[in-house]
């Protein structure tokens, strides 16, 4: 981890070449940061984060292979103190709510200005230096997300992935399995439904 007196290491991940280039140029005038890696998609972002261990990641929500939220979730598993600024071409409240559940507090809507980028960067730098970035284990985060998704009845692919991971935990909740089973029924994923039904049957005996 970088000392507070040094520059914060930044990873940029965006499918669009123009955005990657413009973001890097704008970051060159932001104090206290240095770009250590640039990724072309979500999978590459995760790999580069593992290699370069950035303090801050700028992730496009709509990247190919895996989206920005999924990529950040994987990055957090290896480094819970990595802070994310989420970038999106559209202002969707659902996306921002999902991002906040992962602890993301800073968002940029394309096309963003140098001033907007600088403001977001200074905010995350301040939180990193103040030690106010939450430290949460991967398991705790998984449990929290599973609880939240069940509570709000989310059934998108991101929720499915979270619940599928959560039900593998030794202390998984019965309601997670039941919710996942209902999603499988709606989506007619009979093979997966059979597996979760067997798990449910074992738990309810």
Place of tokens 């230096």: 129
Confidence band, pLDDT 50/70/90 cuts, at residue 95: confident
- Are 165 and 143 in contact by the 8 Å Cβ rule? The answer is no
Read off the pLDDT of residues 173-186 as tens digits, 9 standing for 90 and up: 999 999 999 999 99
What sign has the CA pseudo-torsion 172, 173, 175, 178? Answer: positive
- Are 86 and 116 in contact by the 8 Å Cβ rule? The answer is no
Count of residues for the chain? 205
CA–CA separation, 174 vs 40, rounded Å?
Answer: 39
Residue 15 has what pLDDT?
A: 92
Residue 172 has what pLDDT?
A: 86
Decide: helix, strand or coil at residue 168.
coil
CA distances from 27 to 13, 23, 37 (A): 13, 6, 13
**Cα end-to-end span (Å), the chain:** 48
Closest CA to 47 of 24, 63, 34: 63
| Residue 65 Ramachandran class (φ > 0 left, ψ -120 to 50 alpha, else beta) | left
| Residue 59 Ramachandran class (φ > 0 left, ψ -120 to 50 alpha, else beta) | beta
Residue 143: both structure tokens together: 């449990």
Residue 138 has what pLDDT?
A: 65
Residue 4 has what pLDDT?
A: 43
Question: Rounded mean pLDDT of the chain?
Answer: 87
Looking at residue 85, the DSSP 8-state letter turns out to be: E
Select the more confidently predicted residue: 23 or 134. Answer: 23
Residue 16 has what pLDDT?
A: 92
Residue 133 has what pLDDT?
A: 62
What is the value of pTM for the model shown?
A: 0.64
Residue 135 has what pLDDT?
A: 53
Most confident of 29-33, 144-148, 201-205: 29-33
pLDDT mean over 111-125: 90
CA–CA separation, 12 vs 72, rounded Å?
Answer: 12
Read off the pLDDT of residues 62-75 as tens digits, 9 standing for 90 and up: 998 899 999 999 99
H/E segment holding residue 98? helix 93-101
Confidence band, pLDDT 50/70/90 cuts, at residue 137: low
Read off the pLDDT of residues 44-53 as tens digits, 9 standing for 90 and up: 999 999 999 9
Most confident of 75-79, 81-85, 197-201: 81-85
Residue 11 has pLDDT above 50, yes or no: yes
- Are 75 and 49 in contact by the 8 Å Cβ rule? The answer is yes
Residue 81: both structure tokens together: 């103190």
Give CATH superfamily name and number for 8-130: Response regulator (3.40.50.2300)
CA distances from 125 to 106, 130, 156 (A): 11, 8, 32
Residue 205 has what pLDDT?
A: 62
* Domain range summary for the chain, segments of one domain joined by +: 8-130, 138-204
Residue 182: both structure tokens together: 């209902």
């Amino acid at each position: 981890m970088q000392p507070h007196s040094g520059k914060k290491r930044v990873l940029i991940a965006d499918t669009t070449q123009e955005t990657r280039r413009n973001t890097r140029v704008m970051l060159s005038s932001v104090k206290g940061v240095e770009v250590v890696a640039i990724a072309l998609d979500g999978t590459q972002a995760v790999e580069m984060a593992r290699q370069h261990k950035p303090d801050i990641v700028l992730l496009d929500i709509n990247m190919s292979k895996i989206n920005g939220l999924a990529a950040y979730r994987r990055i957090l598993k290896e480094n819970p103190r990595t802070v994310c600024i989420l970038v999106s071409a559209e202002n969707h409240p659902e996306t921002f709510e999902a991002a906040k559940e992962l602890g993301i507090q800073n968002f940029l809507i394309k096309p963003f200005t140098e001033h907007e980028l600088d403001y977001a960067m200074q905010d995350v730098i301040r939180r990193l230096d103040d030690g106010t970035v939450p430290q949460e284990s991967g398991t705790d985060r998984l449990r929290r997300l599973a609880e939240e998704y069940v509570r709000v009845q989310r059934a998108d692919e991101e929720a499915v992935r979270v619940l599928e991971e959560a039900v593998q935990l030794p202390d998984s909740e019965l309601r997670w399995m039941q919710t996942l089973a209902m999603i499988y029924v709606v989506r007619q994923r009979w093979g997966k439904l059979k597996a979760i039904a067997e798990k449910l049957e074992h738990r309810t005996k």
